[in-house]
Amino acid sequence: MSKKRGREQPAINTQLVEIYEDLANVDENIRLKAAQALLTNFVADGKSTGEQLNEIVRRLLRGLCSGRKAARLGFSVVLTELLIELLGPSGRSVAGFPNVLELIETLKNQSQVSSNVSGQEERDHQFGRLFGAESIIKSGILFQPSMGVEAWSNILDIVYELAKRKPWLREECGFILFNSIQILKGKDLEYAQLIIDKLLAKGLSKTPQGVAIWIGIQAEFPSIALPRGVWHHEDPLNRKDISRLAKILMEASATTSPQSVLESETTTNGAWATKLQFAWDVVLAELLDFHPQGLQKSAKPAKRMRFAEFWEECIDKALFATSSSEERKYWGFLLFQRIVPNVPVKVLSDIFTQNLMRCLTNQLASPERYLHRAAERSIKTILARARSNPNTRAPILKALLDPVNGDINFDKITKTKTVETLISLVDDPSFEQVVGIYEDLILRPGVDDEKTAASRRQSAADQLVSAVRSIQHHSTEQVLAKSEFLVNIRRILALLAKCAYFEVDNAPNDQGDSPGPKISQASREMFRTRISSCLSSLVAKPIGEPSYFAYELVCNIHGREENANHPHVVLNADENVRVVLRKAWQTLRKVHTQSSCDPDEEARFFRALELLYSLTILQVHNEEADAVGILVELNHSFKPLLQKKRRPQDSATLIEILLSFIAKPSQLFRRLAQQVFTACASELDDTALQSMIEILETKESLSGQSQMFDQEDEEGQAGSAFDVEEVDLAKTGLGSSSAEEESDEGSSDTDAADSDEDDDGLAELNAKLAQIVGTRPGNEDVDAEDSSSSDEEMTDEQMFELNGSLENIFRERKKVTSKKTEKKDAKENIVNFKCRVLDLLEIYVKQEHGNGLALSLSLPILTLVRTTTSPLVSRKACDVMREYARLCKGDGMPHIEDTESVFDLLEAVHVEAMKEGSNAHASACSQASLLLVRVLVAHDRESLRKVVKVYGATQERALFDFSCKVKTSFFTDWLNWCTSARK
């Protein structure tokens, strides 16, 4: 028997060794399995003696002092469970196993540090002692009814002594004691009293950990007798202690009085740590979940600081102050990131304080900033909260744009899209709050300087335009399915219209913010431009019907005009204009009704007319000079249609109106013209098309501009009538050698004559100037100088006369030198106008290529390709011709009544092809010719015989007439077509 027992002992030891090894493993699963094996095989089975269990406890306590792998984590878990099993309320008594007091002594002995150990080994033993104390506390064996407070007092002494002597362990010590407060719930008050008494005795009450423990005891044991004289009203969160609390939480010395020398000497925590003290969380949680009943009766809740006060004093002014170190600011960002996800909505705006916002924007502005990544994480936290809680979006947006703490240009300064993203996240009805925020920013920009106020208002308007475009990024089906998208766009347009067309009262708001400068006329013009930008975008990428938002906007303006409670309209118009507006409004309502009731083909026309009327009325409010006249013409043209007597016959008038729109420097009205033109293309007659052809035939010169716009060739009349949003003449090579090669001789001769005329004018002025001042022009003989005249002195009267003469000469010289600029501008204007007309013609040939009337466009387009001096115009004209020829196939072939006029057109195209031009011109002529051939053959195949004769005559001239410049490719294309036609 003795031999068998001798063999079993080594087996048990081997198993324990393996378990101890696994308890230190970095893999949590392995540690847990080892803990379960130890408790099952050596504790729960009841076979181990008290001596064996005592040895296991000593081994576990020694393991806590080990610095290898994860020993402390594994050994502390087993120790806690072992103590619960053996010394807990339901634990079994084992003879020879130490009691709680003896266990505490064992902990002290096993973690005792020798005098000759290294610093690392000393730290390991101190950590082991702390982990051992934590395991004993967690096991609950200290708080059994049969136990006194002696053991608890001994454990507190161990923990407080470590906190006092080792600042780098202080936070862990405080955290253990703070967590023990939850274990003390329902226990004798004496346990909690010991925590406070020893906290004060050890001089640790004015530390972050001391504050957290005090608050925890105060909340869980409201009847406890807290020592007086430490905090005002025995509350660390009392308003009078706010400055002291800020210093303590930043771990600065909170007091320098003689009686507090001991305390001040022990409150320093050592080196700065990147991790926040847990005390911050305790304080913030207490302030955010403030309940007066959680305080003792002697405390006064009214004296406790509010969350906003704490944040401003302890975080904004302490951590984010201008003089604060980068380390403190980093702490501030950590706190911000920690509180944003959970802070109640009602106090959310309180955390966006002035210093924090300044630091946030500065750090975001450049990746080179030290805390740039911390600031980026803060922004991500903000957006994450906004995505998870819709109620936070408007308050966050308001805080970021606030004129005092934030900035209306937050995105621009920080180079982020934070504001843009927030706006895109806001849904109805919260969007109404967003519009209110922007209205407040516009009316009360936070400055008295008019220039700065105008700049901020422009930024606000730009962001509203971006909001409209962000809504457009959703699919049309998604937007139409969610009606709030449409409502939100209408709200934005209504706000812009209110600021653009009405006298707005900027009285102080509910918060008492003082009003800013009144909206200036320049700002009103800016708002009108932004409205045009919104409508332009909505017309270009319509959500539903393109006319919807323009009509709703005009209705909003009309409603405000009719409502006496709304601001006064700023439109400066006489009674006649107002009569025209009233009639136009009545007509618009009829058009809107027709667009809803008529069949689809009719409704499309009426919706285009609705858009035309709406934007023309808007132009009247913009005080455009010709807008009233256009309204009168619209009423005249479409009155018969609205009376349902007949379709409008005067399509030429409609085209003239549309041409006046594309002449405006606005994308919106170009797109409007295209929308209306698309709807009305089928109504155009020969007269309407001729109006467009006349523009293509206009000379690209000052005289051409004067002829087109009925201008007098006077000073100041030849300004630029077009914007260059889509056309950059410099980039397309206007005036380059290639353009000059494509220009016709007449244009070249005109330019040369104009240049000679300018040179003659300058020479004449130089001669006059020389005569007045008594000198000779530079090309005269300087040696023939009259010395007697140069020596004369001029009287005052002569000087006065000379000044007047010089002014006249220089004024005339300025006129001559500006002539070239006027000619250049005029040329650009005509080129732009032709490009826009070509855009309309492209729409026409796409829709009406089956209409024989479209054939009349062929020859003017070919002539334009040859005669224009602009490569851009030439290219656009070629594109129109190519698209027309491509569409006229099969069912899309134009229908003609007779062939005679088409043959005349074919011969004219061949005559055009014989003229000298570019390769692009030759290709366009060939396409037009073959198009006409296909039309003739489709009508009557016998027409092909006459077509062959036309081509033969052209080829004969190419052989014998050297003035005929037709290209070889013209005949090559014809032969290729003949080959395909035979198949």
- Alpha carbons 824 and 693: distance in angstroms, whole number: 23
pLDDT, position 798: 60
**Predicted TM-score (pTM) of this structure:** 0.75
| pLDDT tens digit sequence for 743-758 | 343 444 444 444 455 5
Evaluate the CA torsion angle 375, 380, 381, 382 in order and state its sign.
positive
pLDDT tier at 354, thresholds 50, 70, 90: very high
Q: At residue 461, does pLDDT exceed 60?
A: yes
pLDDT, position 749: 43
Q: At residue 422, does pLDDT exceed 70?
A: yes
Residues 6+ apart with CB under 8 A from 162: 126, 129, 130, 169, 173
Average pLDDT over residues 473-498: 77
Q: Select, from the ranges 78-87, 137-146, 439-448, 920-929, the one with the highest average predicted confidence (pLDDT).
A: 920-929
Q: Which amino acid is at 729?
A: L
pLDDT, position 471: 81
- Alpha carbons 983 and 981: distance in angstroms, whole number: 6
- Residues of the chain with pLDDT > 90, as a percent, come to 45
pLDDT, position 632: 85
Q: At residue 824, does pLDDT exceed 90?
A: no
254 φ, ψ (degrees, to nearest 5): -90, -15
Tokens representing 329 are 């600011």
Helix (H) or strand (E) holding 139: helix 119-139
Average pLDDT over residues 535-555: 84
| pLDDT tens digit sequence for 44-64 | 777 788 888 888 999 999 989
| pLDDT tens digit sequence for 182-213 | 999 888 899 999 999 999 999 999 999 999 99
Q: At residue 913, does pLDDT exceed 70?
A: yes
pLDDT, position 515: 61
Residue whose structure tokens are 């972050």: 208
- Alpha carbons 201 and 197: distance in angstroms, whole number: 6
| pLDDT tens digit sequence for 2-35 | 444 444 444 446 888 888 898 989 898 999 999 8
Residue with more model confidence, 572 or 219: 219
- Angle (nearest 5°) at CA 491 between 485 and 497: 140
757, 900 Cβ separation under 8 angstroms: no
Average pLDDT over residues 412-431: 88
Tokens representing 562 are 């009719």
pLDDT, position 921: 95
| pLDDT tens digit sequence for 155-166 | 999 999 999 999
pLDDT, position 948: 94
Evaluate the CA torsion angle 201, 206, 212, 216 in order and state its sign.
positive
pLDDT, position 300: 45
pLDDT tier at 629, thresholds 50, 70, 90: confident
Torsion region of 544: left, alpha or beta (phi above 0 gives left; psi -120 to 50 gives alpha): left
pLDDT, position 49: 84
Chain Cα centroid distance, residue 972: 56
Closest CA to 855 of 884, 897, 876: 884
Closest CA to 111 of 154, 176, 53, 64: 64
Beta bridge partners of 851: 895
Tokens representing 10 are 């080594």
End-to-end alpha carbon distance in the chain: 115
Tokens representing 811 are 């004024």
Average pLDDT over residues 503-524: 72
Average pLDDT, the chain: 82
Closest CA to 102 of 83, 89, 121: 83
Closest CA to 747 of 739, 838, 821: 739
Q: Helix 702-709 and helix 796-848: axis angle, to 10°? A: 70
| pLDDT tens digit sequence for 315-333 | 999 999 999 999 999 999 9
